[in-house]
Structure 1
Amino acid sequence: MQSFVECVYCYLKQAVTCMSIAGTDEDRQHRILFELMDEIKALDRSRTPAENSTEVLLKLYKLLGNEDPYREVKRKSNLLALEWYPLLKDMLKRSEDRLYDALRISVAGNVIDLGINKSFDLGASLKHSLGAGFARDDYALFAEKLAGEDEVILVGDNAGEIVFDRLLAEELAARGKKVTCIVKGGPILNDATMEDAVQAGMDKVARVVTTGSNFLGVPLERVSGEVRKMLAGAGLVISKGQANFESLEHERGTAGRVFFLLKIKCECVARVAGANFGDVVFFTRQGGV
């Protein structure tokens, strides 16, 4: 997915949110934003929004002298999500289709996106995901593909959210599938790292590997050779969140193999995904591309 002109606003909004979380005073925020504007002017519009956002954020972290401004809020997000875990686990035990509901619970966790919003309502997100369902829904195709696969790769997104992904991983494991979860190799926004995966208990149910970088999404030229090979050879991949969608939706060979699971939080992503702002979706690209 290439960048749109609207992405420029998001680069700046992410920077302001990050500085607010880091406790940066307003005068310094202005000075830093003006400096970041020079960085933004030089960005390559043909690259994904996730890649360009990363470049801006890494520059911001350098200016702040802080390589992980979100560390404490990520920890708190994990703790909050873990409070929901027993209730959601019990809900799945009573479900008529546990895997489908595990997917819907997993995407409800996608609301925990502090790169866009500093607050979130997990209860409202769960109600929406479980009530409205997927606006684009390829679950039947996914279930058909899953029957013939021994392993599933889950490309993780945010801290906190990874607790909800753990419930999905547990349902896949209960069906005899080996699950590999991919997290970031270093801190960027509130994306889940190995530290978050361990805090969330993901390592108890899945093999956890890192991208080998701290770039948002999984841009194939920025991840480790191991992860690049893993994604290229996998029979079934669940890609969580917008940045991973931005990184993978245009790659060849994803149709019928990579399933995108996310809440649409951006009009640009909505256009590319063929959905509406605010929708939750679970789909794969159609055709042979």
Structure 2
Amino acid sequence: MLKLYPQCIVCQINVRYRDLEKAKGLDTQARLHIMRGVLDVTQNFLDACLSGKGSCVPTELATKLFRYIKSALNNPDPYFEEKVQAHKEALKVYEAAKEVVFSEMGLRARLYRALQFSLVGNLLDMGVANYNPPKVEDVVKKAQAMQIHGSVDEALDLLLRSRSVAMILDNAGESVFDRLVADVLKASGARVYAVVKRGAFQNDVTIADAQFAMLSKSFDEVYDTGTDASSIFLSELGEKARALIKGCDVILSKGMANYEYITEVASILSKPIIYALVAKCLPVSIDTGIPLDEAGIRIYIP
């Protein structure tokens, strides 16, 4: 369970400043006013955390801050255009990636290759300060060369014996490559469901832009969380997504934000969980044991 590190504060304030940099029509005074609001939200969160009266989970702060930014900018989805473009760029590579995956001999080898692509897709992230995502056209080469740290064999075993998989998606663009995991598992007879956000959180895929990733072509059904939270916050989760998660055999959780939150509630979910992510910051690297800027898998078994 990842708790707040001091560098989490710096990272999140930097990312929110980047939101302001890309916003149009704001003078210096307006930007300063909004940044003061960012600091106010952060201070309130820290006060509650340090006093023991509130959460100390980094992604819960991220959710509060991005909600504030959307309100301050009067923009419900500041990254919509970038997300649509990310989906389109990833789709240019999807068929070639699928060919690579299905050229592997045997279901297990195909699933491993699909996970490589899914994890390389996790590199396509604009929500971490001082982090530069790779170009989409480099994904195929990076995927084939990627080493996945952690409980890889156990994850493959768990996925291959599961008949119902709920995949909690993360970034736009990345979700196109997540389709490859669904493609392989569906070919084995499993049912695979995608869970995306209803409202916008940074560059994460939402139900509004999921059509541009053509998720329905690979997943049996696409559910939304019913909220714009950075993960499946149980206090906000919609009933349909809640029922899906309760009824599935295994949860496949993508990305750092989902790892940060779901590890907090794993015992409540009481479900096998596979965390698949790239450790893009030191706190997550320390907590997971995954080397910085590399991919890995962690497993929770109730």
TM-score, normalised to structure 2, is 0.87
Counterpart of 1:109 in structure 2: which amino acid? G
Q: 1:88 aligned to 93, 97, 103, which one?
A: 97
For each residue in 1:138-168, what CA deviation from the matched residue of structure 2 results, as whole angstroms up to 9, or x when unmatched?
Answer: 2322232234321111110011111101111
| Residue 38 (structure 1) aligns with | 40
Whether 1:275 and 2:290 are equivalent positions in the alignment is yes
Between 23-32 and 244-253, the greater mean CA deviation after superposition:
23-32
Between 196-205 and 103-112, the greater mean CA deviation after superposition:
196-205
- Provide closer, same or farther for how the CA distance between residues 255 and 4 of structure 1 changes in structure 2, counting only shifts above 3 A: farther
- Provide closer, same or farther for how the CA distance between residues 167 and 186 of structure 1 changes in structure 2, counting only shifts above 3 A: same
- Provide closer, same or farther for how the CA distance between residues 15 and 150 of structure 1 changes in structure 2, counting only shifts above 3 A: same
Corresponding residue SS for 1:194: coil
Alpha-carbon distance in structure 2 between the residues aligned to 1:5 and 1:128: 32
| Residue 105 (structure 1) aligns with | 117
Contact 2:116 2:146 in 1 (8 A): no
Percent identity between the two aligned chains: 26
Corresponding residue SS for 1:237: strand
How far 1:267 moved relative to its partner? 0.8
Alpha-carbon distance in structure 1 between the residues aligned to 2:39 and 2:126: 22
Alpha-carbon distance in structure 2 between the residues aligned to 1:83 and 1:56: 33
Whether 1:58 and 2:67 are equivalent positions in the alignment is yes
Which consecutive residues of structure 1, in runs of 5 or more, have no partner in the other structure?
A: none
Contact 1:18 1:189 in 2 (8 A): no
| Residue 232 (structure 2) aligns with | 218
| Residue 70 (structure 1) aligns with | 79
- Provide closer, same or farther for how the CA distance between residues 254 and 284 of structure 1 changes in structure 2, counting only shifts above 3 A: farther
Counterpart of 1:9 in structure 2: which amino acid? V
Corresponding residue SS for 1:154: strand
- Provide closer, same or farther for how the CA distance between residues 274 and 256 of structure 1 changes in structure 2, counting only shifts above 3 A: farther
- Provide closer, same or farther for how the CA distance between residues 35 and 254 of structure 1 changes in structure 2, counting only shifts above 3 A: closer
TM-score, normalised to structure 1, is 0.91
RMSD: 2.1
How far 1:272 moved relative to its partner? 1.4
Equivalenced residues, count: 286
Contact 1:22 1:70 in 2 (8 A): no
| Residue 157 (structure 1) aligns with | 170
